[in-house]
Structure 1
């Protein structure tokens, strides 16, 4: 396997690192302060920040834009998965940074979905403004009344009525739905409850201003509301959209989800490695700067053990991520199924452990907002649920491994949950 980055990738790495140093890290506190100020002065924490809107044109001018989308005539700047990996990792070091480069979830997955499975009309109406960074989007799969780790459980109905589909359902943890710039949902529901288990589901494009859509509430994550992005509970009540809004056709929802969630999962892993790298960096700086019991804390044996373990595990996770990316580029997402599932378990777990050690190294400061560690810990913990819980991915890896040696007589497809 050849994990060498292209010359273009290496040049973009240097450019992105400089951009982060000049525009992102110095503005971390300003970002949070602007959101809080909007809440106090304007009574609305969900107003998009002027900071990000000011930085987007700078990123685009420097060619740091839409780097995630390979092989698209509408996004010629898109990179292969392997070349995107180190850039996504750098962006992941600050939770809001990917939006500056138009590389933020769930928009990336939705853009890839519309590019792969949408009609030309869908692409003109939704993909092009998303690629320009003019609007945002959300992906509605998870539901509160069923175990969404098994996506065949979803109960949302997408029923044909003449030239329209009528949607009724209850969704939650819909990331991005709280942003006032969110103009479109991709909704997964069932068009045929009597079909085969994996042929009941379909996906449909739903404009966010369609009558019958109610944002019930934003759902905080460990006390963080993640404004202005948010994760929301939503009701779809007799929501009517044209038949042409259906993606690919009835019963093809699982097919679309497999295509969408492969890249989405590995992007999460790339960002998680960036989180872990930054946590290790902050840990080392803190340990070198503090003295306890007569010597630097970094000289204490337990901390050297943790630093070494962090480096070993981060590099392990990165190498497996690069292997998965390489396979996605060369043999396709389906053949990389096991590697994608493995890294989806490994990367967030490694990041969580390194974050926990970094918080411990900072003492009480580690759980404060003076450092990014506490908020990153909360955000990273959700990754063990988002796009499929650890248990489902482990099961998928085990089934793929067992299938090499015995015939199980069961469906070995990967899960497509989105929590």
Structure 2
């Protein structure tokens, strides 16, 4: 591909008229699901996955809410966001190639800026950041753009299976070590108490220091598995753009229905297997059940994620469902800004420099909090997009990528 200087001078990001509104709706649904899943993680130190949980919610309504989140929410919506990222990657490169620019170099610059956003978010706001993982995995995605659809699908399938099995293996090893060597391996109740104390009552500086010392090393260590695990999800999205015309999904509804049926069946199978092992129903060692639960959570997460995405795709074709999913499209159009604002809002609610509700809000109330926060984001996004073309962080991202101030206000 030859770079034409006159085209390079006029390269522009995808404009509002070129947007795929179905993807905005699915992205909005994913954003809500991620908020639902993250509400409990905002209330747990990042290192508790290696030890004890900071609290146990024993009330029947909290137990039911916890099972609902585990079965149908946690691990189901970050794959959705990831697949959408893969789709967006392919659309971005296709548009850039059509305009005669060095598309991969431009996308690498875009990833670098996303990495900077993620680093700032991770260090100064919340340790559960996903943007760093996305940016790093995005650089690997560049290696697959020119491959044939079947080759991309095979890479996606086998990478995902391999890493899901690996996660299950590590889960078994970790659970076994905690069972047989709890004092040497586990997080002590004293550490959990310290975490609760600092995060519930500390000012911003105290919370920041605690997170940098105790949480950031765990997050960095997790990148070794987290980044490769995201790559196959990106590849599934890339495969979709190679398999169908993403701008005319309505011409491929038979294919979508076929995927919908398969994902429903596999979603039911893997969700049952996850529930059986999470509940330790089978007469096998506890550490084996917990490790297998981690593996089956990955498989059920992907299957249900695809089921949710194809369900939205099919429902959007029906006029009665269009108003609902149009509401989701508004926060979906400014998903980066809304994702970051979710962190600002939630750390203010839960950390000591805000309302100090860390580890005090159970699963049931967390669902209510998420609905209220997302409802507000829907309303703010709707009114924001009446005046502006992009969310504030989307505008900053585009302006930095193209080294040119992007028009912000809606024309006319």
Q: TM-score, length-normalised on structure 1?
A: 0.25
Q: TM-score, length-normalised on structure 2?
A: 0.26
Task: Pick the structure with more helix per residue.
Answer: 2
Q: Which is bigger in relative contact order (C-alpha 8 A, separation at least 6)?
A: 2
